[in-house]
Amino acid sequence: MGKTPAVKLNRICVYCGSSPGGDPEYAQAAESLGTLLADSGIGLVYGGGNVGLMHLVAEAALAKKGEVIGVIPHSLEQKELAHRGLTELLVVKSMHERKQKMADLADAFIALPGGIGTLEEIIEVFTWLQLDFHEKPIGLLNVCGFYDQLLEFLHHMVKQKFLKDEQLEMLQVSSDPIALLDKLQTFIPVKTAKWFDRRNET
């Protein structure tokens, strides 16, 4: 059996921390991912910030002449958190509009390490994939095992029959950005009903 043909990814939305985090490898991963996307001819969509891992992934892509589109709410732009050197900076009214715009612009999603905002963003688009609102691939860049406990909890959801194996398997995971990008480019969505029917259980 041949290799699954690659999906054309024009832009990838990257969610990540507005802080650099406590391990230097997080920063290295952000820079490596930004460089990889630009070298691969893939545009970066991100939250438009000029701080933390957000700044590093954007700067790395820009350094390689990559397309970088930032989307930031007006309230955060006013706090001087916006990156002014991007290919394009879109200023929106709310966080809801920001997330929708980022999703609309992207063909896939990657989460680097980050805080509750990063977690909320990647889980939301994973939920949309589960509900068949889109068919875009989603990946966790699991730097230094950052997402190990989240993955453990998701497997706990499967055991407790709140999530199906097939649905969890759609979430692509790797500690290596090149391997993760390859997984996203060969992703095939799984069609399965979200809901468990206890009448059919044995």
Answer yes or no: is pLDDT of 202 > 60: no
Which single residue is written with the structure tokens 């930004």?
A: 34
Which single residue is written with the structure tokens 């997330």?
A: 99
Query: What is the tens place of the pLDDT at every residue in 86-109?
Result: 999 999 999 999 999 999 999 999
> Considering the entire predicted model, what is its pTM?
0.93
- By CB atoms closer than 10 A (0-12, 13-18, 19+), residue 97 is middle
Please report the domains of the chain, with CATH numbers, ordered by start residue.
11-187 (3.40.50.450)
The residues, ordered by sequence, that sit 6+ positions from 199 with a Cβ below 8 Å of its Cβ are none
Rg, the chain, Cα only: 17
Query: What is the tens place of the pLDDT at every residue in 35-64?
Result: 999 999 999 999 999 999 999 999 999 999
